[in-house]
Amino acid sequence: MNAIKALLQPRSVAVIGASRKRGKIGHEVLRNLIDFGYSGKIYPVNPNADTVRGLRCYPSVLSIGGDVDLAVVCVPAEMVPEAVTGCGRKGVRVVAVVSSGFKEIGRSDLEERVVETASRHGMRVLGPNIFGVICTPSKLNASFGPRIVRPGRIAFITQSGAIGIALMYFTILEHIGLSAVVSMGNKSDIDDSDLLEYFSEDPHTSVVLIYMEGLVRGRRFLGAAMRTSVKKPVIVIKAGRTSKGAQAASTHTGALASSFRVMLGAFNQSGVLYASSIEQAFDWARIFVEDFRPLGGNLLILTNGGGLGVLAADACDDQGVELMKPTQKLREELKKHMPYFGSVENPIDLTAVADDDAYYESVLTAVGDPDVHTVLAMYTQGPLTDPTLIAAKIIKAMKDVRLATRKPIVFCGVGGEQVERAIRLLQEAGIPAYRTPERSVSAVSVLLRYTRARARVEKKLAMLSSR
């Protein structure tokens, strides 16, 4: 069994330092593990307890009868090398060291000892200084982060523990589903590249999102990113990309920030999609979950408000997205679903009277037109129409054509509470939905960029392998 597989799909987990005291990290990790519904064997290890949270407790990892795939280490830093030695003797496959107090506070010596020990026993190390590891298909939540994780198809890898936990809360709020969350902490051994190799093959993952501060072993990362990018998108948020940010990062993790311009060039070469903010990264991830297959760059925008169309057109110009010129045939078809004062110039203005039926018919028309490659349906809330009804009809239109096409349909709604509800309905039905024209166009844009990047990287990999 591959070490990363043992980390994310372990058949058994030992929690070393499983405290009886609530609030202690070792206690919380065990509690999440139990409460999230992990079905493998769980072994709390604590020499001073008989049971923790109703489970039989072991004085040491060596005293466990069965095999242990993953050991989550929560004991104080000074005790970690000894704990890892025990794991090695036991034949553990991989250790996740949650404990902090290593390189991040100047104790590189202790960290090196941990990695050397593990390596001597053929084990890999995640961490130290992490909040844990989560894999929703395995029902594994070996972390002291949020207990609830919404299952989904985004694998989220984070170098910062605090940001990682905060974003887990954020994904719950924003109804974003995750296949896995891996906190990498100090990246003493297992790093982004190892995880990319795993997630590129993982059938539960459609897109990988990495929050990165420092990049170590850059060349290896770029190779892994290339191999992953031809299968699924890799989105990177790079903190510390400016000189002020890099300075702050060096205080924080001790990572040496590379020159960002060089890094951005390398990212582009490898197909990595660089996101400039957390919000953008998750906006992008959302659209990749849907497995859309745009056949080209022709975008058709449908809107019930001219102003929103203008803002979207500005965003298209900013982001290099083409607004197709509708054919005469398409114009005539669309005219049937709008009043005489509507507009069939792209963005198509269905006007404020456009109801759910008008959206249904015009989305069907647009998706059915072979020249249209992507449809962006936009809505500004007004007194005449109900966005939740419109959402329902767009979902129906999508379902009516789903078997025939994987043409992207994206929604943008501007308004209040009812628009929020419409957005939720659409997201849950598999239509990426956004709150501003800029964000929706950004999602359309990244889909096209990824399609092009993948083709480019495929060619490059083919060239490299034919040498």
267 binds a second copy (CB under 8 A): no
- CA dist., res. 18 & res. 98, Å (int): 12
277 binds a second copy (CB under 8 A): yes
- Tokens of residue 57, six digits: 């407790």
Beta bridge partners of 44: 15
297 binds a second copy (CB under 8 A): no
Count of CB atoms within 10 A of residue 219's CB?
A: 9
258 binds a second copy (CB under 8 A): no
> Strands, DSSP E only, in 239-323?
273-275, 299-303
31-70 positions binding a second copy, by CB under 8 A: none
Nearest to 443 by CA among 330, 324, 347, 315: 315
316, 410, 443, 447: residue in contact with a second copy (rule CB under 8 A)? 316
10-29 positions binding a second copy, by CB under 8 A: 28
414 binds a second copy (CB under 8 A): yes
The DSSP symbol for 256 reads P
363-392 positions binding a second copy, by CB under 8 A: 380-383
346-365 positions binding a second copy, by CB under 8 A: 347, 349, 352
421 binds a second copy (CB under 8 A): no
Q: How many helices (H) and strands (E) does the chain have?
A: 16, 19
Q: Which is nearer to a second copy, 218 or 245 (CB)?
A: 245
46, 160, 179, 451: residue in contact with a second copy (rule CB under 8 A)? 160
- CA dist., res. 104 & res. 380, Å (int): 49
In the complex, what is the shortest distance from the CB of residue 334 to a second copy, in angstroms, rounded to a whole number?
Answer: 14
149 binds a second copy (CB under 8 A): no
**236 neighbors 210 (Cβ within 8 angstroms):** yes
97, 118, 419, 422: residue in contact with a second copy (rule CB under 8 A)? 419
452 binds a second copy (CB under 8 A): no
Which amino acid is it at 463?
M
In the complex, what is the shortest distance from the CB of residue 66 to a second copy, in angstroms, rounded to a whole number?
Answer: 30
In the complex, what is the shortest distance from the CB of residue 28 to a second copy, in angstroms, rounded to a whole number?
Answer: 7
114, 115, 157, 165: residue in contact with a second copy (rule CB under 8 A)? 165
| Total residues interacting with a second copy, rule: CB under 8 A | 73
Q: How would you class 251 by CB atoms within 10 Å of its CB: exposed for 0-12, middle for 13-18, buried for 19 or more? A: exposed
Which listed range, 189-197, 345-353, 368-376, 388-396, lies at the site for a second copy (CB under 8 A)?
A: 345-353
Q: How far is CA 118 from CA 3, 126, 154, 336, in A?
A: 12, 11, 30, 69
The DSSP element (H or E) to which 365 belongs, if any, is helix 356-368
Beta bridge partners of 349: 303, 343
- Tokens of residue 286, six digits: 């959302």
In the complex, what is the shortest distance from the CB of residue 223 to a second copy, in angstroms, rounded to a whole number?
Answer: 26
The DSSP symbol for 336 reads T
Q: Which is nearer to a second copy, 104 or 201 (CB)?
A: 104
253 binds a second copy (CB under 8 A): yes
Q: Which is nearer to a second copy, 50 or 317 (CB)?
A: 317
In the complex, what is the shortest distance from the CB of residue 295 to a second copy, in angstroms, rounded to a whole number?
Answer: 22
In the complex, what is the shortest distance from the CB of residue 298 to a second copy, in angstroms, rounded to a whole number?
Answer: 14
> Strands, DSSP E only, in 159-266?
178-183, 207-212, 234-238
- Tokens of residue 306, six digits: 């001219």
120, 399, 416, 452: residue in contact with a second copy (rule CB under 8 A)? 416
127 binds a second copy (CB under 8 A): no
Residue appearing with tokens 């979950």: 289
- CA dist., res. 64 & res. 67, Å (int): 8
Which listed range, 77-85, 113-121, 299-307, 363-371, lies at the site for a second copy (CB under 8 A)?
A: 299-307
Which listed range, 191-199, 201-209, 235-243, 391-399, lies at the site for a second copy (CB under 8 A)?
A: 235-243
- Tokens of residue 207, six digits: 């897109």
| Straight-line distance from the first to the last Cα atom of the chain, in angstroms, rounded to the nearest whole number | 32
166-185 positions binding a second copy, by CB under 8 A: 166-167, 169-170, 172-173
466 binds a second copy (CB under 8 A): no
In the complex, what is the shortest distance from the CB of residue 415 to a second copy, in angstroms, rounded to a whole number?
Answer: 4
Q: How would you class 435 by CB atoms within 10 Å of its CB: exposed for 0-12, middle for 13-18, buried for 19 or more? A: middle
278 binds a second copy (CB under 8 A): yes
